[in-house]
Structure 1
Amino acid sequence: MINAKPINKQSMYETVMNQFNKTADIIDLNPNIRKILGITNNEIIVHFPVKMDNGKVEVFTGYRVQHNNALGPYKGGLRYHDTVDIDAAKALAMWMTWKTSLAGLPYGGAKGGIKIDPRKFSDSELERITRRFTYALGENIGPEHDIPAPDVNTNAQTMAWIADTYMSTISSSERSHNQHVVTGKPVGAGGLEGRDRATGFGVYLSIKLLLETRNETLEGKTFIVQGYGNVGYWASHFITQEGGKLIAVQDAHATLFNKEGINTESLAQHCEPRKGSIKGFEGAREINPDEFFGLECDIVIPAALGNQITSENAYKIKASIVAEGANGPTDKEGEEILLENGITIIPDIFCNSGGVIGSYLEWLQNRNGELWQLEEVTAKIEKKITENFKKIHSEVQSRNTDWRTAAYILAISRIETAYKQRGIFP
């Protein structure tokens, strides 16, 4: 077992570039295509004023980075968080390109958001901020160009505001054809049944499929979750339904532990009126945050922000599986430690891809004027994730490599093929 203390902490952008360059070397990626994929297509920064409830005007900074669209329109979430900056958006956009490619979707990758702590603003202020941000982005988004979705601290309501604002800026004859400018909308506003649970369902299913390759099930497995938002909750919901036991949860406000198990539904109900905070939940005791990753368990699910598993804590992890519900939760040094210690990492670009697969289904539903029921949606997502799992598993076995490397090889190779077949203009 490696038991090492830290070196330097990487940025998410350094992490994603390390992953890309490692894969490019392995597959001997065409050098011209390597140049293209190593940079972003567009980096958009907007500054916009918004009047607050008290009458004062605040100026906010928003970002939208469009990494690559060789396979189709840009696709990716918008997050509202004080860690949002251009480098974070570049990293997340690149991960989206690999994720959509690996999933076999006709999309490229984008990401963005606003540098903001949404807890400090009222709902009416957040609505005005969101609508003004949408207006500032203008033609940089569109249903066949760049399709945003929810991410950290954004939700179906946020997407409804964006869609309404976007459609109000185009001609009335065009409005009915542009509902799919965003995905993750409320069901009543053109959203998809089950889109709310799609990412968490994918995390659960990826773990279940991996365990099946070991002739194991989720019954009796203990797991811990970092981040109890949409992804963390739904992953926990589905895992506990199959006999798994949630024993610890961590967020920015508290770290909770109960070796007898934490009731996932009770915790979700506790969080709802507290803007997602787990603090004060009576069904578990609060422990030191530094103890979280070192807890005895079978599965660790980081479902919060990037760069959470590093050389500072990776050596503490005793689980056999790390399932990356978040984007980029493991940095380079952290990953090296986990792999050296025999821990399987289910990589983010596969593990949390249920969300973008659900988004694709919503986009199709709006585009084609169809309406699918929850059972149909769940079956479609399960089929797609299972197919993708089998491809990655085959690559892992044939190359005798780790799951992230296998996933990256498949994702980047598909884009390379597209460029080779299309050629590069002019």
Structure 2
Amino acid sequence: MNTHDQDARDSSGGGQDQPEQDRVRAETVRRLERSMGALGTAAVARMDERLGWFRRMSAEDRSWIGLVAQSGVAAFVDWFRNPVRGRPAITVEVFGTAPRELTRSVSLQQTVDMIRVVIDVVEAQVDELAAPGGAQQLREAVLRYTREVAFSSAKVYARAAEARGAWDARLEALIVDALLHGDREEGLETWGSALGWSHTPVIAVAGETEGEGGAKVLDDLRAAARRLGHDVLAGRQGSRVVVVVGVGDRYPEEELPLVAAEPLAGLFGPGPVVVGPAVPDLRAAGSSARAAVSGLRAAVAWPDAPRPVLADDLLPERALHGDADARRQLVEEVHVPLAKAGSPLLDTLSVYLEHASSLEATARMLFVHPNTVRYRLSRIAELTGHTPSDGRGSFVLRIAVALGRLEGAA
């Protein structure tokens, strides 16, 4: 039956003339008004009986739902009393009684289940509630009202989802900003919990956007990370985008940062994409985010860097750009182990680098056999993870040794 046919039947009253129809409606309204309290109570009792999720709710939320049910019955009676009003204003009259937070406790499907229970309770008593000759009129009014409630429910949840999405995006940006500036870290876990954050360890990824597409890049990064089963926070400062990702334990520890970041790298704009080191939890994610952003600033000094590239692989460039953490890390990871191993290694490395990586020239300057130089160079690679004969490795070692000497001189 279409809306026109239904409205025609409503107005016809099943063959009754208008005065008789109005009399029957008025009597039905009086009966409904006397039964409103009982209908609301019966609806809540039926929900408690049939809906397990309702039984498991807190007393406060159950009370709010009961109030919504009562408001729904009252709004229906008011609309039935004045049919000339046309479509009922359900969003305000029914859902306006409950706090917005209730949409987090009750899903749209649960709301539909609740509506069905309330309507079942009313429909089961139509014959008793309606005045003689008004049962069909009341039944059709209930069906029409049910349809409007269903549409209004969808609107309420759509608006709540839109508002929650905007709020979540603002909260994500706030967390990322706090991580980068190192302030308010005591509240990070609480903020993360508000967004459903649960996965550890955590990495940060920094890159650039192009033109006005920053919002789309953020949305794409969030969607891609969530498809991979990650927790994700994303924020943008100008053209720079920083993504903090909780990746779980699905990756080997030694491969974690790069393997987790690779599926996301292609979603950034042109230019370098830098991955901060893995940290144990969101509270410690500031160090990873700051390393990633520092690496992004300094990556211009290494045009041939891979994409994505680890922030730790950009330590020399970061140190030259003024990153104190990178300077300290280079000294601790390279210069300190060499110094502890004894002067022959540091002396051999210095001479080797000064003589264009020539074994023979280094051996002559140190008055040792070339095999001795080879052995010392292999020990240097073992201790630092950087090979002196490799172009990139020699650059890292040269910067680290220079920084170590500067620190010792200071």
Which has more strand, going by share of residues? 1
Which has more helix, going by share of residues? 2
The TM-score bracket by the shorter chain reads under 0.3
Q: Which has the higher contact order (CA 8 A, sep 6+)?
A: 1
